[in-house]
Amino acid sequence: MPLIIAIDGPAASGKGTIARALAAHFGFHHLDTGLLYRATGAKGGDPVLAAQTLTASDLTRPGLRSAQAGQAASRIAAIPAVRAALVDFQRRFAGQEPGAVLDGRDIGTVICPDAAVKLYVTASDRTRAARRAAELGADADTMLKELRERDRRDRERATAPLRPASDAVILDTTDLTISDAIAVAIAQVNRVLT
């Protein structure tokens, strides 16, 4: 049975960096589930139909990492029928041998509630805004406002709101280097493997 690692948390917390590092370290498959929503939004038209017809090649579209794509993803992620259409895609991905790392906002609570390892990666709002601003070459104050709005929308949505799973390990990366955060995450996975 494949080992599933669920990593949740708000934007720019470091969850994607940690997820990619864990997948590389353990030789697992990796899925940034936010890309599913970004790609669905980028397809345009009816978001439910876009989600139902999403393919792996849609995840390679240019511009999916932009702030605009992130805001669009957050808006369509609040549509229950979009979320339902993407659940099977994510669960099939998680079932791949020898294991999979999925990062998003509802992996440990909805998509893979039985995941062997659940991490909820977070950081202070200002730290996350500074990271995202540096990544996108944007203004930190503008990013702070946008991140807070997105967090509010993600936490308050009726379907699969952003929150840590009850059994998730909270990993606050505010004052951690990337190497330190990855080391903590690797240690959590090793506890399950031993």
Which pLDDT value is given to residue 81? Answer: 92
With a cut of 80, say whether residue 67 has pLDDT above it: no
Q: How many domains does the chain have?
A: 1
State yes or no: 13 annotated in a binding site: yes
- Tell me which residue range forms the domain holding 146: 3-193
43 marked as binding residue: no
The arithmetic mean of pLDDT across residues 90-116, rounded, is: 95
- The 117-122 sheet, strands edge to edge: 29-32, 99-104, 3-8, 117-122, 169-172
Q: What integer best gives the mean pLDDT of the chain?
A: 93
Answer yes or no: are the C-beta atoms of 48 and 85 closer than 8 Å.
yes
Q: Binding residue per annotation — 16? A: yes
Domain harbouring 55, CATH code: 3.40.50.300
What's the predicted TM-score (pTM) here?
0.89
Q: Is 14 within any annotated ligand binding site?
A: yes
Determine if residue 127 is labeled as part of a ligand binding site: no
Determine whether the annotation assigns residue 80 to a binding site: no
Predicted confidence (pLDDT) per residue in 133-186, tens digit: 998 899 999 999 999 998 998 899 888 889 999 999 999 999 999 999 999 999
In this predicted structure, what is the pLDDT of residue 91?
94
pLDDT of residue 163: 94
Please check if 185 is assigned to a binding site: no
Cα–Cα dist 81/114, whole Å: 23
C-alpha gyration radius of the chain:
16
Band of pLDDT at residue 82, cut at 50, 70 and 90 = very high
Q: What would the two tokens of residue 36 be? A: 């599913």
**Is a pLDDT exceeding 80 seen at residue 101?**
yes
Query: What per-residue string of b and e applies to 73-87 under the rule 16 or more CB within 10 Å gives b?
Result: bbbbbbbeebbebbe
Our measurement of the distance from residue 80's CA atom to the centroid of its chain's CA atoms, rounded to an integer in Å, reads 17
Task: Return the pLDDT at 108.
Answer: 97
The answer to whether residue 70 scores a pLDDT higher than 90 is no
Q: How many CB atoms lie within 10 A of CB 131?
A: 20
Beta bridge partners of 156: none
